[in-house]
Amino acid sequence: MKPLVLVMGVSGAGKSTVGGLLAERLGLPFADADSFHPPANIAKMRRGEPLTDADRWPWLDAIGSWVDARTAEGSGGVVTCSALRRAYRERLRAGRPALRLLYLAGEPALIGARQAARPGHFMPASLMASQFATLEEPTPEEGAILVSVAPPPEDVVDAAIGRLQDAGASSSPA
């Protein structure tokens, strides 16, 4: 079965960069969470206002529908989503047991600097404090694969592919 991967982490963690490269390397369809936001959410973030749970639920469900479509066609896929809170991850994973979680982890100073230096994105640097305040890092029982985003993107992708292969091997029937 082709892998289905949800790439999560705060704004600026590298979800689009690493997720896109990962999809390319594995030959899988790719979707970026930003493309599922309704215009009202984008406008809100642009104004520097954090999204609420109510803003996020329909967005999470749209991402889940993308996963369902890829599951139905058996294509596998890579999709990004900040998925900051455990409840969001539970919503995304409910009824989707094949969806694996890849958590892009990094220090606030490193990710904040990258996020602030990124040109032409609607997400203001002023929202980074709320991103980290909202983040509930995946706990061990969530079974997420954690990779550090400190190395260059290609190296992060190498690490992710290695870990996904290990996880696949250990969960396949004996």
Residue carrying structure tokens 């989707």: 96
Decide which of ligand ATP, ligand GCO, none touches 71; Cβ closer than 5 to 8 Å per partner kind. none
Measured over the CA atoms of residue 59, residue 63, residue 66 and residue 68, the dihedral's sign is negative
Does residue 11 touch ligand GCO according to CB under 6 A? Answer: yes
Phi, psi (degrees; rounded to nearest 5) at 103: -100, 120
Nearer residue to ligand GCO within complex by CB, 87 or 167: 87
Q: What is the DSSP letter of 8?
A: E
The phi, psi pair for 61, rounded to 5°, reads: -70, -35
Determine which helix (DSSP H) or strand (DSSP E) holds 113, and give its type and residue range.
helix 108-117
Please state, in angstroms and rounded to a whole number, the distance separating the CA atoms of residues 64 and 78. 12
Q: Which is nearer to ligand GCO, 32 or 142 (CB)?
A: 32
Q: Does 71 participate in binding ligand GCO (rule CB under 6 A)?
A: no
The Cα 102–Cα 123 span in angstroms is 22
Closest separation between CB of residue 46 and ligand GCO, Å?
10
Residue 84 binding ligand GCO, by CB under 6 A: yes
Cα–Cα distances (Å) from 133 to 53, 94, 137, in that order, read: 14, 25, 11
Piece of 7-15, 21-29, 36-44, 61-69 that binds ligand ATP (CB under 6 A): 7-15
Q: Using CB under 6 A, pick the residue from 7, 22, 34, 44 that binds ligand GCO.
A: 34
Residue 34 touching ligand ATP (CB under 6 A): yes
Is residue 62 a contact point for ligand GCO (CB under 6 A)?
A: no
**Which spans of this chain sit near ligand ATP (rule: CB under 6 A)?**
9, 11-18, 34, 82, 114-115, 118, 123, 149, 152-153, 156
